[in-house]
Structure 1
Amino acid sequence: MLSPRKPDPFFTALLDIAKHVQESLHYADDFKVETIADLKEVSIQMKAYETAGDTLIHELITKLNTSFMTPIEREDILQLAIKMDDILDGIEHFLGNLEMFSLIEIDEYMQKFMSNIVKSTDEIVKAMELLTKKKLVEMRTHAVQIKEYERVCDDVLRTSIKQLFIREKDPIRIIQLKDLYELLEEVADYCQDVANTIETIIMRNA
């Protein structure tokens, strides 16, 4: 049985990772890109976030490798951490492509993707806060909400690509924007992976 008395260090580490991902996504979403220099700045900062995230994952793995007992399955702890880190890696990759393409215009579809992904990270943090309190069953509400945001992103992807082929005539720009939309949908899928892992942990431990 999970003791409700105090936060487990592994759960605290997962919350730290979730908060780091949340902070980085809010930074990316709030940053106003108006010039190529802005793109460079946000790309550099996101790389720093991504590197710091890798450090958090490494510290968790070290803790897993040196601990005799864990509050839940080691594989579930590691899977949850890696899936959260995938979100950060995906957005860093997306922003790197924006810089590579020198695209400073963030259209309505990218904004919708980002809005739903950011809200997903907020839900992940709420779920990890419940995990530190060992309130596993209550985490399910947040997992369900994350999946709803991912469903919205599925709709955004279909609409964005449909409108892209209707409106855009430049084949190079079509390729660039389609790649960017698909990258963002992939990040939304990473959020859903976190939700699925949360539900697995609930099923095995609640």
Structure 2
Amino acid sequence: MFNQKKTDPFFSALLTIAENVKEAVHYADNFKVSNVADLKEVSIKLKKYETEGDDLIHDLISKLNKSFMTPIEREDILQLAIKMDDILDGIESFAAHLEMFSLTEIDEYVQKFMENIVKSTDEIVKAMELLSRKKLEAMREHAVLIKEYERICDEVQRTSIKQLFITEKDPIRIIQFKDIYEQLEEIADYCQDVANTIETIIMRNA
């Protein structure tokens, strides 16, 4: 179905979007926060990643509007790009809320969420690399892994909120951490949305 030797510009664009998402998530996970000023720095940097992501989406839409032929359904290309961009928007919002709440210390649950979100974005990039090489069937295993990481995040959310209400006595901190946990679970859901879209593309084209 595909010319295996020629790299398609739409698949290359999707890979670039995925790499930007992965880089942003890794940055957020690796940055060591010591004070409120650090939170501001992270928030500003992730806003730049988000802006870059918006520009990449805009460029992709321009390509779609100008192209008569696309390698797969144009709706699938756009859906995949938007779902990846949702992850980027989510991680930027997460950092903004950390700064808003001045939360310079994160707990084991936030770390566990981030660990699995990082793994998910790694798998998304691997899947997009396979897509750029037109190896659609091989993408499936990465979609399966992403869904497993989302399942783990579901469990983390249930445990984290349960423990929060058991151990935390300050109602303000309960509100803040519950918000953070729910945001991170939503990011994991966005990763799963990407996996679902990947599976739809495989089903229609492989």
Over residues 37-57 of structure 1, what are the superposed CA-to-partner deviations in whole Å (9 max), with x where a residue is unaligned?
000000000000000100000
State the distance in 2 between where 1:10 and 1:21 align: 17
State the distance in 1 between where 2:75 and 2:125 align: 20
Give, in angstroms, the shift of residue 177 of structure 1. 0.4
Segments ≥4 residues shifted beyond 4 Å: none
Tell me the TM-score normalized by structure 1.
0.99
Give the structure 2 partner of residue 111 of structure 1: 111
Over residues 22-77 of structure 1, what are the superposed CA-to-partner deviations in whole Å (9 max), with x where a residue is unaligned?
01110000000110000000000000000010000000000000001000000000
Q: 2:38 aligned with 1:43, yes or no?
A: no
State the distance in 1 between where 2:167 and 2:2 align: 56
Give the structure 2 partner of residue 143 of structure 1: 143
Q: 2:6 aligned with 1:19, yes or no?
A: no
Residue identity opposite 2:196 in structure 1:
N
Give the structure 2 partner of residue 156 of structure 1: 156
State the distance in 2 between where 1:14 and 1:58 align: 12
Give, in angstroms, the shift of residue 145 of structure 1. 0.2
Q: 2:196 aligned with 1:193, yes or no?
A: no
State the distance in 1 between where 2:97 and 2:159 align: 21
Any gaps of 5 or more consecutive residues in structure 1?
A: none
State the distance in 1 between where 2:128 and 2:5 align: 16
Tell me the TM-score normalized by structure 2.
0.99
Residue identity opposite 2:13 in structure 1:
A
Any gaps of 5 or more consecutive residues in structure 2?
A: none
Give the structure 2 partner of residue 64 of structure 1: 64
Q: RMSD between aligned alpha carbons? A: 0.5
